[in-house]
Amino acid sequence: TLCRVPQTIPEQFFLQSKCQFCDHLPTAPACCSSRYSLAFLSCFGFIVVYALRVNLSVAMVDMLDTKTDDNSSSSVCPEHKGHSALIHNHTGKVYDWDSETQGWILGSFFYGYIVTQIPGGYLARKHGAKWLLGLGILGTVIFTMLTPLAASLGAGYLIAVRVLEGLGEGVTFPAMHAMWASWAPPLERSRLLTISYTGSSLGTVLSLPLSGLICYYLDWTYVFYIFGAVGLLWFFLWTFFVSNTPDSHKTISEKERRYINSSLKSEDIPWCSMFTSLPVWAIVVAHFSYNWTFYTLLTLLPTYMRTILGFSIQQNGMLSALPYLGSWFLALLGGQLADCLRERGLFSTVVVRKTFSVIGMVGPAVFLVSAGYTGCNYVMAVAFLTVSSALGGFCSSGFSINHLDIAPSYAGILLGISNTFATIPGMVGPVIARALTSSNTIEEWQTVFYISAAINILGAIFFTIFGKGAVQPWAVPGYESHIQ
């Protein structure tokens, strides 16, 4: 049956298939290559994706009526003066949403995001990722620009628009993973994918401070209009310069085309084998655990900076971006280091993936808990939060790309599966965190940090025990028919 798959691949079958997975293919220069052009343009795309996703976290601080008791502008720590003497252009409409409503608004995006994960990977594999990803982001852009109108109509309308944004963005990562299955040579996967996906960290780095500045000098509505316009620019670039595969690319060199094509054959999707594979569940658990902390900070860090540490809207955006700047840098560094370790044969793929995952999950847990005990020591609090998120960047060369190691033909679908489960923290995390921090005390936030750290550590342990680095038997094209 499809679920009965031997644990090892017979040697004679592997030898027949070695051309598909050989690590010693002829190389093609990286400079000015089509694959690296795709990496940088997709990086720009993920900058847009995360800018559209996180800008509400900062804008929300400015959207709330500070005169209401539940949204009091007072903070636990003394407010920072700095630039506060400058006039804050608070001309946008404000709302008196309570903490529970805020939690639902911040988490609503993920109720749409979770729906299109697996369909996104499946459709990208069957019909190509270019238009699926492009139109998904275009849809998110359009609904982002409708956000001010939706907010003026009521919280329910805003929640609905955020759900629709999530539906559009839900296809992005599975579609991009499916595209990389056709574009990324095995020994360049870490480099290419980290360039591509670090756009998410870079988008957060750029979006948070720029959102704060836009709110400060204009008003919060322009946050959605300006980032939406950038998204439209990206869509046109993506439309004209990207192709689904090397074979359909118009300007790729023949040498690079031959280098990239590893002849991964198309076959029926082994759904049963996927869902009964422990290495797949190792990725799922790690992804879920990592995202719990990531989404909690992504949606609520500006709130923590304001209500606990007392930073202004302008300072808030700048400082909230620091953790993601560190994450972006370490993700790029980790990608180079991971490929270097594998190319030189110093460590196996599985050791590299597990090591980077442990550093990227246990390290953040330690510093996140420590941040909760810094009190009003602003320097230590910001430093610990920055290091916590920065270390998470190493996961970009850990479990985050392990789908391509264990099943390159089905990488997009596997990412859709893992990201479906990993979206749940985005749905429930902000709601739980806001419920636990209704009084906005340091002790309440310590509880939030403890929960996130514990989940992170459990995920790291599970991946370390059950994660794999080799192509799984069920993922080898033609192998199912071979054993029947």
End-to-end CA distance of the chain: 8
Give the rounded distance of the alpha carbon of 228 from its chain centre.
Answer: 19
Is the Cα torsion angle 175, 262, 236, 229 positive or negative in sign?
positive
Return phi, psi of residue 64, to 5°: -90, 145
Residue 27: band (very low, low, confident or very high) from pLDDT cuts 50, 70, 90: low
Q: Between these two residues, 202 and 27, which has the higher pLDDT value?
A: 202
pLDDT in tens, 129-163: 999 999 999 999 999 999 999 999 999 999 999 99
Query: What whole-number distance in Å separates Cα of residue 52 and Cα of residue 426?
Result: 15
User: Which residues pair with residue 64 across a beta bridge?
Assistant: 95
Which domain covers residue 40, as residue numbers?
32-249+270-483
Whether residue 2 is contained in a domain is answered as no
String of DSSP letters for 445-458: HHHHHHHHHHHHHH
Task: Please indicate, yes or no, if residue 82 is contained in any of the structural domains.
Answer: yes
What is the enclosing helix (H) or strand (E) of 115?
none
- Number of structural domains (the chain) is 1
**pLDDT interval class at 225 (50, 70, 90):** very high
Which tokens in the block code for residue 310? 């007392």
Q: What is the pLDDT of residue 266?
A: 52
Tokens 């690319």 belong to: 249
Its pTM stands at 0.73
d(CA 343, CA 135): 37
307-316, 433-442, 473-482: least confidently modelled range: 473-482
> What is the arithmetic mean of pLDDT over 415-435?
87
Please give the pLDDT value at position 46. 94
2 or 294: which leads in pLDDT: 294
How much of the chain, in percent, has pLDDT values that exceed 90? Answer: 39
- Residue 236 CB coordination number (10 Å): 11
User: Does 23 fall in a domain?
Assistant: no
Of the ranges 76-90, 228-242, 437-451, which one carries the lowest mean pLDDT score? Answer: 76-90
Average pLDDT over residues 64-89: 56
Q: Which residue has the tokens 């749409």?
A: 112
The pair of three-digit structure tokens given for residue 60, joined into one six-digit string = 């929300």
Q: Does the pLDDT of residue 3 top 50, yes or no?
A: no
How many residues are given for the chain? 484
Q: What is the pLDDT of residues 256-311, one digit of tens each?
A: 888 777 544 555 778 899 999 999 999 999 999 999 998 888 878 888 888 888 88
What is the predicted pLDDT for the residue at 29?
Answer: 60
Whole-number Å distance between alpha carbons of 190 and 186: 9
pLDDT of 221 above 50: yes
Q: Poorest-confidence range of 29-43, 89-103, 468-482?
A: 468-482
pLDDT bucket at 482, cuts 50 / 70 / 90: very low
Determine the Cα–Cα distance for residues 95 and 101; give it in Å rounded to an integer: 11
Please, what is the angle between helix 378-391 and helix 349-371, to 10°? 160
At residue 202, the pLDDT reads 87
Q: What is the pLDDT of residue 481?
A: 39
- How far apart are the C-alpha atoms of 468 and 405, rounded to whole Å? 8
Return the C-alpha torsion angle 395, 399, 405, 411, nearest 10: -110
- Is the residue at 260 inside a domain? no
- Answer with the residue of higher pLDDT: 432 or 28: 432
- The pLDDT value recorded for residue 236 is 96
322 is a domain residue: yes
Give residue-wise pLDDT tens across range 332-346.
898 889 888 888 888
Does residue 23 register a pLDDT over 50?
no
Categorize the per-residue pLDDT at 184 as very low, low, confident or very high, splitting at 50, 70 and 90.
Answer: confident
pLDDT at 19: 40
**How high is the mean pLDDT of the chain?**
83
Tens digits of residue pLDDT in 192-205: 888 898 888 888 88
> Within a 13 Å sphere around the CA of 242, how many CA atoms are in the beta-carbon half?
28
Task: Indicate the residue type of 466.
Answer: F
Answer yes or no: is 472 within a domain.
Answer: yes
Q: What is the CATH number of the domain that holds 51?
A: 1.20.1250.20
- Angle, CA of 350, 356 and 360, to the nearest 5°: 140
Cross-strand pairs, 95: 64
Asked if residue 116 is part of any domain, the answer here is: yes
Mean pLDDT for 248-253 is: 85
Between the alpha carbon of residue 248 and those of residues 50, 241, 242, 245, the distances in Å are: 29, 12, 9, 5
Give yes or no for residue 98 having a pLDDT over 90. Answer: no
pLDDT of residue 480: 46
Q: Is 16 part of any domain?
A: no
State the Cα–Cα distance between residues 170 and 335, nearest whole angstrom: 24
Q: Is the pLDDT of residue 86 over 60?
A: no
